[in-house]
Amino acid sequence: MIPIRDTIQSKNYPVMTMAIIAVNVAAWFMEPSQGWDMNRFMVLYGLVPARYTVDAVAEHFTLLQQMFSFLSFMFLHAGIFHLLGNMWFLYIFGDNVEDRLGPVRFLIFYLLCGWASGLTHFAFNMESQIPIVGASGAIAGVMGAYFVLYPRARVLTLIPLLFIPYFVEIPAAFFLGIWFLIQFLSASLEGSLGGGGIAWWAHVGGFLFGVLFYYLVRMIPTTGVLERLQEATVRRRTPRLQVLRTSRETGGHDVYGTIMITPEEAREGARKIVNIPAGFRKRLFRVMVPSGVSTGTMLKLAGLGEKKDAGARGDAYLRVIVEGE
């Protein structure tokens, strides 16, 4: 299952989420420059449990190196697809969690989840000499927080069926629950079937600790500086593309939906692209929201309703909702 987007629009621009993505990408570009020293690089900056439990291995590393690897391992990746997959999941789920915590508390939360995931892997593989790298554990923590925050959100998901891409909206609680179950079962079966180099227990630990750390980190008091930072990141516009869920309120052929805009867009007007479902098809239309509208304003899209017996179509009506009104 590949998430394409969720239905919860964040109110603030996810500055910290994007910064974390940028650091991960920058770190990945450093890796090819290591050349033949790549294995040494991964052992030095990845998380190797045996470095802390086997004296013969530990003596080759300084205290600073031992401490730093517990941070660096979560910003390195084993390949481009490993990086892209992790960053995509962080992009999908991170903005909404950052919305609730604010950028600074979100960074604290993210690092705590990463450390907890590393310690969970360490607890189950204390003498392993295989380095683990990747942001998966920290991102699993973000997904754990999302699970408790937005269980009723829906995730547009790509499910490949043979060679046919199939898109379906899945409740977030179901999507994340299935994901966690897969990680737990994979971790439980790792000893008998082989782990394939994937730190399954890190994913499990990251997810569970993410639930705990969210409630702990949100107790950190905000300061005037943090509040001003969050105010500065408020989104001035809603997404240009909006997916509508229409209904027939009168039993006729007219359909009704809602379109979200910000107060700034209400004052100045906006151009949007709306996705109106029609059976198994989804139709895209450009919509001009005039300036000066308010919550409750109805926009008429002539001829975009359901088809009548005579071949003509009803109309589509979009009710404007201005955020904060």
Residue 312's pLDDT band (boundaries 50, 70, 90)? confident
Q: Write out pLDDT tens, residues 232-250.
A: 777 777 777 777 777 776 6
- What is the domain class of 241-322 according to CATH? mainly beta
The structure tokens 């997404």 sit at 239
Under CATH, which architecture does the 2-232 domain have?
Up-down Bundle (1.20)
Residue 195's pLDDT band (boundaries 50, 70, 90)? very low
Whether residue 27 has pLDDT greater than 80: yes
Average pLDDT of the segment spanning 294-300: 91
Domain limits, CATH 1.20.1540.10, in the chain:
2-232
Domain limits, CATH 2.60.260.20, in the chain:
241-322
pLDDT of residue 197: 64
What does the angle CA 271 – CA 248 – CA 285 come to, to the nearest 5 degrees?
Answer: 25
Percent residues over pLDDT 70 in the chain: 92
What is the model's pTM?
Answer: 0.79
pLDDT of residue 263: 87
Q: Write out pLDDT tens, residues 88-126.
A: 999 999 999 999 999 999 999 999 999 999 999 999 988
Name the average pLDDT for the chain: 86
Average pLDDT of the segment spanning 273-295: 76
pLDDT of residue 283: 66
Residue 25's pLDDT band (boundaries 50, 70, 90)? very high
Of the listed ranges 35-49, 137-151, 179-193, the least confidently predicted one is 179-193
pLDDT of residue 19: 96
pLDDT of residue 191: 52
